[in-house]
Structure 1
């Protein structure tokens, strides 16, 4: 019982940046509403997650590098304890619930690829070798591949840039800005030989690390700016206004292309600049509301459950879709509107995510929740 209370306290304790909790809760709801077909534009929740991860993880690295206490071993150990238990647990559920417990050579390659976070990078660079059966892979895990690549690259890059810049934050900001802008050039280079209607645009330029790293860099840049500027809080209204203006530009674009609302995977050339725009939107809102005391318990709870809820709701959606004409699911389909049924299922997913957090996630979090520094990392954003 003490353990359950301790876990509940973790789930309902606001982080150091209360506005970030609000953005995390918003992001996971957007993604859930998208997958359950309530909000067609909800896929931008993943873009928000990338910026938040860059902001929180990048900020932790910057602080520890500046203090001279950064440890690669500690960083990767804590990331592994935070990410892997839930991810591997969902992979196990996929094996039994999606793949039916079938174990063949393709299944083995898929499982190993998934465990090493190579399920998208592998087929892109080595298509003849990586034959992936999606039944063995957690849905939405392409975003975790991007996150893991960021965790591999970011510490090395930030430590190196900080050393070369002699820890002068304005030089670090310039380097981050250059990395952020480079995202457009990299996407152009990686898709230079694609025909305008080639379906590979989305795979090559929207779900790979080299195609989304600028959104994570945008978050790191926001973290660096917060540590460089003397009065970011006083600038909040300007940052929020900039975020609203950029969001308005994005909405003009998306309204003009209604087919992307129904099938965002059809986006082709637009993927060259779209992540850069969404990264800028996220960074502006992060700097605008990071301090705002949005600490209602439901918000904090959703923020803490965002990682398990992200993976659980996609698997749950896939399974319930498969058996939508059976038993209680069939009754719900007949008794509720589609939106009403989706809200009920998302509520069930939230409860299941609580159980996953209680039984799978939190035991590992306790392993590194031992001092003030790691307590801050406990509430760091992970995607998603």
Structure 2
């Protein structure tokens, strides 16, 4: 294919928002769409190469895979290799075990399956996985295994039938993604069948003739660029992805590829040396940014300072240039034979499989961990069994459960109070049920915010309607609203005002208590305690990043005053400055307040119910 500098510039438009999104720059809330732009570009370039070879009758599947191996594997393996010692030094055993599993999955081109099983891409825990970003490489690699064979087989039926087949497959994949974000949002995000249409749109661009009306090229290419940029700033973690929403960046990218030719404005912008330069090193930029950010977050036991994240972003560019110059470029040399690249890739893959299996089998401690019994006891909370305590599946609905699946015993006319909210409310309900006769209506990923939509729980609107119906029917004395409010600051939190107004309309005699968010720790409180080498018998306070929780508290406090309801700030009660209560229980048997980043343990929930909320609830 003819080299197009504007396509390299388009890569820069894709990778920079991804980096800034993972760096935590709030303005780039939709920066993850850069991956979708990469998919379209990849589909276009791969299809263009294959079409050219099929037309000249020089297609070779071995040569194709050798080119892909040269392009992808050397830099990937180089970054993975340097991640291993960093992970060994920084990570705790449970974290290193997870990292070891990701080494295996990346080597086998299946990391998207692993991360689909492990976590939501937008969950706080996902930011701590150094190889999380390789899910998109796995999708592309799986595409590479299928698409060349498909194209070779259908080529003999004629170009028009190939295009029709690709169109049908793309429409089927898009329809699957539109269905799956409602039923299986995590699988929809990570897996190839619901992502394939983005690559296939790029492939269709490679079939398009260069005989489009010239006077429209300028405006359509600029429109495409604006569509990509708009999605970066408009979308956020609550936008269903992939879905019809994804058409905005995908079609935008296709418009740029199709119409940014010759002297168009888009070509002028994208062909600037800085854009082309970033585009050339974009693959290495993509490989480096996530490990640097993840290790920084692990080492800091919280969100690093903006100055550190800025420095790491600059370091990402330096490492990317080095990797592109001394790893990527040399391995693309035609002097490296197919046999050599396959042999080197196989040898490296064997090493990473061995390292990964060792870390997995040894539970993350292949040569011992050096932790005290008390610290091992803390680390055991990573496997805390909260399902029964939170009444998961019954009064705490899981992903995709519908309101009719609430059990009859969750709420009744005998309940003194109801607690309503997300998983954090389910955690708080444990202690409240021990102290008061409390009904529970909670759902994973569903804060009590009217109009809120969630990828992790597509039925939030129906669930909230069910809450109101039950409140109107049973009219409890007290209604407690609680959630992970800090994660909704500056976005959906304003919706709480409508929720309170609706409750006051449906159950005017009920008292409303707003309970502020629990202090949070990253990646988890037990891990933070161990990293701090805390002695749980003595240390009760530990640094917590309460910034977002404090902002949410200020909003809740004002709202409570406006609507004449009660508000309790948990961070005011639990924290001194930015040091917060980390351990509860007797001196002989201390227990972490929360078992992960912010979900209460049974002892923590009982402590809050007894010591903080009881005085308010018995007034």
**Inter-partner Cα distance in structure 1 for 2:86 and 2:243:** 36
User: How much has 1:96 moved relative to structure 2?
Assistant: 1.7
Structure 1 unmatched ranges of 5 or more: 1-14, 128-132, 195-199, 371-384
Match of 1:175 among 165, 169, 189: 165
What is the SS of the residue equivalent to 1:98? helix
Distance 1:275 1:368, change over 3 A: farther
Match in the other structure for 1:288: 259
Match of 1:297 among 249, 273, 287: 273
User: How much has 1:317 moved relative to structure 2?
Assistant: 1.3
User: How much has 1:229 moved relative to structure 2?
Assistant: 4.2
Distance 1:368 1:172, change over 3 A: farther
Matches within 5 A, 1:94-113: 94-100=83-89, 109-113=101-105
What is the SS of the residue equivalent to 1:42? coil
CA displacement, residues 165-223 of structure 1 (integer Å, 9 cap, x when unaligned): 2xx3x44332222222112232356567x3xxxxx51x211121111111110111111
Match of 2:217 among 224, 236, 241: 236
CA displacement, residues 278-327 of structure 1 (integer Å, 9 cap, x when unaligned): 3222211221215425433222211110000101111111123334599x
Asked if residue 114 in structure 1 is aligned to residue 81 in structure 2, the reply is: no
Match in the other structure for 1:74: 63
Matches within 5 A, 1:264-275: 264=237, 266-268=238-240, 271-275=242-246
Asked if residue 314 in structure 1 is aligned to residue 290 in structure 2, the reply is: yes
Match in the other structure for 1:373: none
Distance 1:113 1:342, change over 3 A: closer
CA displacement, residues 319-364 of structure 1 (integer Å, 9 cap, x when unaligned): 23334599xx98xx4xxxx3x6544432221011111222322221
TM-score, with structure 2 as normaliser:
0.46
- The alignment yields a C-alpha RMSD, in angstroms, of 3.5
Match of 2:138 among 145, 153, 159: 145
Conserved 8 A contact 2:129-2:294? no
Match in the other structure for 1:187: 177
Asked if residue 20 in structure 1 is aligned to residue 7 in structure 2, the reply is: yes
Conserved 8 A contact 1:98-1:135? no
CA displacement, residues 129-158 of structure 1 (integer Å, 9 cap, x when unaligned): xxxx99786231111011101111111122
**Inter-partner Cα distance in structure 1 for 2:117 and 2:310:** 39
Match in the other structure for 1:214: 197
Query: Please, which moves more after superposition, 149-158 or 230-239?
Result: 230-239
Distance 1:41 1:71, change over 3 A: same
TM-score, with structure 1 as normaliser:
0.72
Match of 2:328 among 353, 361, 382: 361
Higher relative contact order (CA 8 A, sep 6+): 1
Conserved 8 A contact 1:183-1:212? yes
Asked if residue 59 in structure 1 is aligned to residue 42 in structure 2, the reply is: no
Query: Please, which moves more after superposition, 304-313 or 172-181?
Result: 172-181
Which structure has the highest strand share of the two? 2
Match of 2:33 among 44, 60, 79: 44
Structure 2 unmatched ranges of 5 or more: 120-125, 338-619
**Inter-partner Cα distance in structure 2 for 1:235 and 1:55:** 21
**Inter-partner Cα distance in structure 2 for 1:309 and 1:353:** 5
Q: Which has the larger radius of gyration?
A: 2
User: How much has 1:273 moved relative to structure 2?
Assistant: 2.4
What is the SS of the residue equivalent to 1:176? helix
CA displacement, residues 225-270 of structure 1 (integer Å, 9 cap, x when unaligned): 1xx342465541353366378669968xx85xxxx62xx1x445x6
Conserved 8 A contact 2:71-2:332? yes
Query: Please, which moves more after superposition, 229-238 or 108-117?
Result: 229-238
**Inter-partner Cα distance in structure 2 for 1:136 and 1:116:** 18
Conserved 8 A contact 1:186-1:211? yes
Match in the other structure for 1:12: none
**Inter-partner Cα distance in structure 1 for 2:281 and 2:249:** 24
Distance 1:35 1:125, change over 3 A: closer
